[in-house]
């Protein structure tokens, strides 16, 4: 940050301070902290966060879970990263080059990189990390992207070069997701059992200071951080499994930020002035959506008329209004609305029960015994929706149940605890219909979810989708490096998917976050990369910090 910019900042802050002071009612109590005051950026302080599940370890390529990567992304760098506008930029890498045949990528590391323990970080570490993620013994869930690399080499300590069998469009995105591990500490160790997973040494803004099981993880600033120092000294992440308990802690000022559900965001906090005074609310469109998916191997869901009929019979806007309190978007393609991959020409299926009824009739369903439920070949049209114990999804299912009953389909609902939901129903394919969500990466490649080859137990195409046209588009999209042609491929893919209706998009929801107003420097409104994109620049002015007890 240039000094000029800093000065300018201070100037704006000062004038704002005056303004706010001028507006304050004179009878306001002296000791009450006014969080709207502006302060210049200072380093120091502690930010307290909470998570529901404890990470199993901090080598995220092994753990493969969000709890692990939430912590480890503060400790380890990748070769590349996304900037605030979701364009790729160098993280460990100063610049990179793609060969003219688009099969080889050469990464040049920044000079003088160091691990937190002062050892140099070189291309040997990158090569080691690639070997680790592709090593069959490590069984990393992220291996598939990196197995496509035919050859990886390190011409010198600053250079890392990978060659693919054929051009692979999601390659750069995959390198932005792989956290580089230190070779000198991990060589020859079993990554599944190594103590390093609980005492990691990284290169990023923070390093692990202490980990009290079932209580908290404390990170503190890494003096050798390759991207320069972060502002806040310590990041404490407390393990609080219950969402309502987390909210109590947020209200009691014992944590600084948490993700909210729509009711907390738009009903509870706005109704309480004392919470509004100290909590700032942020809303950003997430890269995720909730859907209802059919098991396409079960009858009658193999019939596209039935799937489209059900799509017409469900009122999506009602779900967005009733369950997400308006904090959702009705979508027609499996991409974040407003991004280039989302096809603007597509419109979601409207709520049209009459059309649903006629499609069902066409598919051979009639109410022959007058009980209000449709039958085909003497069998009533009845199925079970399963979902995990997620309040929003359960409520969506109840609304779907009501709408489907109106067109003569009988629906039962079952909410199942996450672990058995995955192992007993999803992996075995033992379900009719699911209500679930997909959280997506930034690359438009959705091969894992829709390609017909991805149906083995544990793989993501558990609905059994098999459409040669979609398969071909997905394969084409992976090979296409020209962004415009690639966009065209995925627009076609979305259009085919919408017409085929193997899933029904219910809502693309907003990510809702409350952050204590003592934390400054947060971009609002959030840029495309989300509010967390500049968290290293967040700061907590001295006068707003908690009284810290230095027990640890």
Q: Kindly state whether residue 267 participates in binding other proteins, applying the rule CB under 8 A.
A: yes
Q: Applying CB under 8 A, which of residues 28, 136, 274, 417 lies at the interface with other proteins?
A: 417
**361/384 Cα distance (integer angstroms):** 21
Does the bond joining 190 to the residue before it have cis omega, within 30 degrees of 0?
A: no
Q: Applying CB under 8 A, which of residues 268, 346, 373, 481 lies at the interface with other proteins?
A: 268
Nearest CB to other proteins, comparing residues 184 and 395: 395
Nearest CB to other proteins, comparing residues 392 and 480: 392
Q: Kindly state whether residue 278 participates in binding other proteins, applying the rule CB under 8 A.
A: no
Q: Kindly state whether residue 261 participates in binding other proteins, applying the rule CB under 8 A.
A: yes
Q: Kindly state whether residue 263 participates in binding other proteins, applying the rule CB under 8 A.
A: yes
Give how many residues touch other proteins by CB under 8 A. 31
Length of the chain: 552
Q: Kindly state whether residue 420 participates in binding other proteins, applying the rule CB under 8 A.
A: yes
Q: Kindly state whether residue 422 participates in binding other proteins, applying the rule CB under 8 A.
A: no
Place of tokens 């750069």: 172
Q: Kindly state whether residue 274 participates in binding other proteins, applying the rule CB under 8 A.
A: no
The stretch near other proteins (CB under 8 A) out of 63-71, 75-83, 245-253, 338-346 is: 245-253
Q: Kindly state whether residue 373 participates in binding other proteins, applying the rule CB under 8 A.
A: no
Q: In the 8-state DSSP scheme, what is residue 456?
A: S
Q: Applying CB under 8 A, which of residues 2, 27, 100, 244 lies at the interface with other proteins?
A: 244
Count CB-CB contacts under 10 A for residue 451. 23
Q: Would you call 108 helix, strand, or coil by DSSP? A: strand
How far is CA 200 from its chain centroid?
23
Among 47, 427, 406, 461, CA closest to 216: 47
Minimum distance from CB of 386 to other proteins (Å)?
11
Q: Applying CB under 8 A, which of residues 193, 276, 389, 482 lies at the interface with other proteins?
A: 389
Minimum distance from CB of 416 to other proteins (Å)?
8
388's CB contacts (< 8 A; 6+ apart) are: 415, 416, 417, 418, 421, 436
Nearest CB to other proteins, comparing residues 76 and 431: 431
Q: Would you call 159 helix, strand, or coil by DSSP? A: strand
Cα-based torsion angle of the residue sequence 185, 191, 193, 198 in order, rounded to the nearest 10 degrees:
60
Q: Site mask, other proteins, residues 303-322, x = CB under 8 A?
A: ---------------x--xx
Alpha helices in 47-182 (DSSP H): 60-63, 66-72, 123-134, 143-147, 171-177
**93/190 Cα distance (integer angstroms):** 27
Among 447, 457, 534, 430, CA closest to 493: 447
Q: Kindly state whether residue 413 participates in binding other proteins, applying the rule CB under 8 A.
A: yes
Q: Kindly state whether residue 281 participates in binding other proteins, applying the rule CB under 8 A.
A: no
Instruction: Give contact residues for other proteins (rule: CB under 8 A).
Output: 243-244, 247-248, 251, 261, 263-264, 267-268, 271, 318, 321-323, 325, 389, 391, 394-395, 397-399, 401-402, 412-415, 417, 420
């Amino acid at each position: 940050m240039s000094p000029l910019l800093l000065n300018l900042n201070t100037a704006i802050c000062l004038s704002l301070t005056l303004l706010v002071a001028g507006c304050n009612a004179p009878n306001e109590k002296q000791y009450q902290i006014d969080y709207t005051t502006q302060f210049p950026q200072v380093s120091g302080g502690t930010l307290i966060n909470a998570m529901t599940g404890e990470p199993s370890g901090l080598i995220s390529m092994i753990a493969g879970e969000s709890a692990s990567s939430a912590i480890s992304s503060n400790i380890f760098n990748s070769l590349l990263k996304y900037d605030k506008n979701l364009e790729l930029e160098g993280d460990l890498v100063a610049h990179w080059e793609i060969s003219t045949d688009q099969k080889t990528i050469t990464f040049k590391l920044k000079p003088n990189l160091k691990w937190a323990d002062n050892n140099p970080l070189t291309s040997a570490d990158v090569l080691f990390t690639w070997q680790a993620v592709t090593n069959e013994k490590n069984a990393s869930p992220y291996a598939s992207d990196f197995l496509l690399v035919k050859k990886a080499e390190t011409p010198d300590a600053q250079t890392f070069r990978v060659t693919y069998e054929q051009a692979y469009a999601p390659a750069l995105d995959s390198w932005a997701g792989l956290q580089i591990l230190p070779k000198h500490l991990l060589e020859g160790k079993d990554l599944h059992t190594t103590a390093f997973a609980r005492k990691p040494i990284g290169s990023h803004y923070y390093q692990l200071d202490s980990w009290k099981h079932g209580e908290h993880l404390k990170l503190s600033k890494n003096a050798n951080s390759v991207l320069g120092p972060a502002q806040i000294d310590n990041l404490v992440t407390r393990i609080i499994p219950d969402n309502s308990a987390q909210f109590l802690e947020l209200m009691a000022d014992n944590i600084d930020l948490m993700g909210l559900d729509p009711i907390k965001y738009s009903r509870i906090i706005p109704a309480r002035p004392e919470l509004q005074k100290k909590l700032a609310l942020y809303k950003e469109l997430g890269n995720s959506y909730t859907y209802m998916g059919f098991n396409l191997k079960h009858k009658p869901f193999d019939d596209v008329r039935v799937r489209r009929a059900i799509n017409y019979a469900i009122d999506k806007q009602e779900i967005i209004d009733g369950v997400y309190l308006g904090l959702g978007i009705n979508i027609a393609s499996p991409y974040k609305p407003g991004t280039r991959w989302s096809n603007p020409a597509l419109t979601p299926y409207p709520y049209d029960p009459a059309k649903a009824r006629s499609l069902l009739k066409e598919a051979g369903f009639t109410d022959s015994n007058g009980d209000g439920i449709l039958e085909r070949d003497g069998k009533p049209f009845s199925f079970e929706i399963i979902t995990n114990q997620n309040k929003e999804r359960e409520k969506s299912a109840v609304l779907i149940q009501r709408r489907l009953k109106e067109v003569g389909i009988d629906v039962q609902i079952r909410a199942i605890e996450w672990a058995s939901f995955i192992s007993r129903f999803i992996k075995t394919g033992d379900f009719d219909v699911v209500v679930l969500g997909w959280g997506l990466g930034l690359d438009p490649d959705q091969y894992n979810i829709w390609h017909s080859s991805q149906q083995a137990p544990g793989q993501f195409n558990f609905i059994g989708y098999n459409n040669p046209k979609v398969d071909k588009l997905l394969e084409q999209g992976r090979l296409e490096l020209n962004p415009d042609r690639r966009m065209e491929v995925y627009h076609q893919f979305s259009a085919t998917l919408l017409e085929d209706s193997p899933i029904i998009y219910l809502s693309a929801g907003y990510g809702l976050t409350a952050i204590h107003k003592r934390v400054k420097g947060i971009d609002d409104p959030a840029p495309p990369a989300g509010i967390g994109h500049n968290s290293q620049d967040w700061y907590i002015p001295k006068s707003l910090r908690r009284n810290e007890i230095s027990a640890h």
